[in-house]
Amino acid sequence: MKRILKALAPMLAVLLPLCMPAAPASASSSAPGAVEDGYDLWLRYRPLDKAARVQVRPVASAIVAPGAVAGTGAAGGSPAAPPATPLQAAVAELQRGLGGLLGKDPPLAASVQDGAVVLATPATLPALSSMGLKLDTLGREGYLLRSTHLQGRKVTLIAANSDIGLLYGSFALLRKIGTGAAARAELASLDERSAPKLTLRVLNHWDNLDRTVERGYAGESIWNWWALPEVRDRRYVDYARANASLGINGTVLNNVNSKPDILTAPWIAKAAAVADSLRPYGIKVYLSARFSTPLELGATKTADPLDPAVAAWWKAKADEIYKAIPDFGGFLVKANSEGQPGPQDYKRSHADGANMLAKAVAPHKGIVMWRAFVYAHEKPDDRAKQAYDEFKPLDGAFDPNVLVQVKNGAIDFQPREPAHPLFGAMPKTPLMMEFQITKEYLGYATHLAYLGTMYQETLATDMHAGPGGGSATVAQILEAGAQQSARKEDGAARLTGIAGVANIGSERNWSGSHFDQANWYAFGRLAWNPQADARALAREWAAQTFSSEPAAVAQITDLMMMSREAVVNYMTPLGLHHLMGTGHHHGPAPWVANLERPDWNPVYYHRADQGGIGFDRTASGSNAVAQYAPALARQYADPRTTPESMLLWFHHLPWDYKMASGRKLWDELLARYDSGVAQADEMRQRWARLKPMVDARRHEDVAVLLNKQYAEAVWWRDASVAYFQSVSGLPLPAGVKAPGMPLEYYKSLKFPYAPGRG
């Protein structure tokens, strides 16, 4: 039988892939000159130049992985079948990556040899225990990269306490090789250790069951629900590879505006099939749960979380899900917000609702992520205060396996917001950051806006929430090691986490535009280390995605670093916010004032009149500043100490208020709009100069979008200036260009078929 199987092996190697679901044709071939279409993301593994290959081969000539099975991957292309374990995934990725970068497939060796990359844990290679590696400090997911000697041979060691740590370490080694000469120079004397600072690093897919995607601008959902569970698209594995390369370890498959169907048996089976594809890459699946599901399915007469029948239904449902998906992560819940049902419908608190669900999943070590994005039923004096007002009194009331998921700002993923006041205000409750990767309010996938700078801006904000009002950044609060809950009777580590609303879809380049891939990348890398530097991450991404040539990397990085500020300037300068069109959130509409709720109207947020502009959130207005720690509240309460980038977020000021530049506020506002347009123009000019350094197809793709972005920046500027001039009655200063069209023209524009409305 063995001889027969051996004889059939070559034929099976050809036939087995044909039995797999069709995969998108990948440009991951290492052949020089391969057409680039963006599918490979930052995992392109294109051949290094001759000098670089000579530098790398002596430290990556073979792969040794005790416990791995030979033939788990094929260099330079997709494995014949998805790997079964994280160790197999690590070996497959090293074979694929090193084979592509070096132009030669590294063999999987049975014993240690000079120049080998060795993947090992103390369990698979006991000799590690006597090498003083201090692996115990790395936890379950961390890794060590070290140039060392094993059994008298010089090797590159990837060591960890688990196979998933080895997978993360393998991606880290490939990243180092692929990001340029400076990184490769470290290979001969490598000594790097890294462990994630947050436990849960999760993507939230706002994907609907019909494959539409709310706030998605990259095609349909990648989850082909109709074909699941029988057909498992190879794209799921490539999705898992990309996420694992960043350390993302969880994904919520469906929209927070959930449907009851997702928790029925047919849909649980579909989710289980996706989980099977993601599991070898260390990624757990989660589901968004509609709070009223048992009531809507007719299983109970109420959804009251304190009703025993409701609690029993959820417990039985959790048992059913875990039977199908043993490593199911748990539930994400949006409740009592934007019309979604929740515990307040029964005069219960958010804690009552979250804890009922938490008890259902607790026996399976599951968690509940309970969103703090809420609207009060009453018309608020300031929407920015609602989440704090509802959740701050509940600090300490949530079960230990509940995380409260808080948006980065108090409104709604605006181009710029101050950090949410809840960070640092709930020391007894694990808080989980929610960033938006998809650009709902930043020009969709058609505008280049690198969000790494936005994420870092929020994470680096000092909330003055340490002992005695001492320093504590949002990143430190999220990491939460310094603010352990007093309720840890069992000594278990406190949950920490971060979530990003995904920008991934079925389009060939995954995110709708090539540069939007960078926002997925930056989110994942900051999820691993919230104190990482956005510029360094932009350099990493550019080097792996476009070219590792220093000149190209430097210019692309500079372009990325200016991009988000450009968008802020031509959309929402000086702290203005929520000026976008109603519903679709596309384009300027600061004039909208006819919607049912005041806080649905842009005029509610800018409050422009003949006397001035801005939302007064000081003690003379809504007093939202009082929700911040005293030191921060004092800073924001005074316009002279409020950063000008947030000025009109916190203050209603007269048009002639003197700015730091010496200009009047009206003149400064116009200058910021003009600056944004000029920056958008400069971005397309910079990209044009990069043409010799970037492959033709992707260069043209980006150039087309940058031209569209410039045109829309002019539209934003002209429409906004026309409106605010109509309100203020002020003349345009000398040299300032008048809007291209009358205000009524801009008001007349309609977009009934804008994408992303779900």
Active site residues: 338, 412, 440
Question: Which residues on neighbouring strands pair with residue 288, listed in sequence order?
Answer: 332
* Tokens matching residue 277: 């594809």
Rg (CA), the chain: 27
- CA-CA distance, 550 to 559, in Å (whole number)? 14
Is the distance from CB of 747 to CB of 588 less than 8 angstroms?
A: no
Which ranges of 297-395 would DSSP assign to H, the alpha helix?
A: 308-324, 350-361, 386-391
Q: Is 406 helix (H, G, I), strand (E, B) or coil?
A: strand
Q: How far is the CA of 609 from the CAs of 214, 591, 603, 726, 731, in angstroms?
A: 34, 12, 10, 9, 15
* Tokens matching residue 112: 């240690």
**Residue whose pair of structure tokens reads 């009592």 in the numeric block:** 336
- Return the closest-CA partner of residue 311 out of 399, 393, 233: 399
What is the residue-wise DSSP string for 272-324?
Answer: HHHHHHHGGGT-EEEEE--TTHHHHTTS-S---TT-HHHHHHHHHHHHHHHHH
CB atoms within 10 A of CB 684: 19
Containing 331, the helix (H) or strand (E) segment is strand 330-333
Sheet holding 116-120, edge to edge: 108-109, 62-64, 116-120, 153-160, 143-150, 191-194
- CA-CA distance, 482 to 486, in Å (whole number)? 12
Q: What is the DSSP letter of 196?
A: -
Is the distance from CB of 328 to CB of 285 less than 8 angstroms?
A: yes
Spell out where 575-666 has E strands.
612-613, 653-654
- CA-CA distance, 549 to 186, in Å (whole number)? 17
**Torsions phi, psi for 32 (to 5 deg):** -55, 140
Is the distance from CB of 613 to CB of 652 less than 8 angstroms?
A: yes
**Residue whose pair of structure tokens reads 């497939």 in the numeric block:** 105
- CA-CA distance, 739 to 176, in Å (whole number)? 49
402-440 burial: b if 16+ Cβ within 10 Å, else e: bbbbbbbbbbbbbbbbbbbbbbbbbbebbbbbbbbbbbb
- CA-CA distance, 93 to 74, in Å (whole number)? 9
* Tokens matching residue 449: 């806006």
- CA-CA distance, 566 to 713, in Å (whole number)? 9
Q: How far is the CA of 60 from the CAs of 89, 102, 170, 177, 193, in angstroms?
A: 17, 9, 12, 10, 19
Q: What is the DSSP letter of 49?
A: P
Containing 147, the helix (H) or strand (E) segment is strand 143-150
Residue type, 626: A
Q: What is the DSSP letter of 110?
A: S
Which ranges of 63-160 would DSSP assign to H, the alpha helix?
A: 86-102
- Return the closest-CA partner of residue 240 out of 251, 232, 229: 251
Containing 253, the helix (H) or strand (E) segment is none
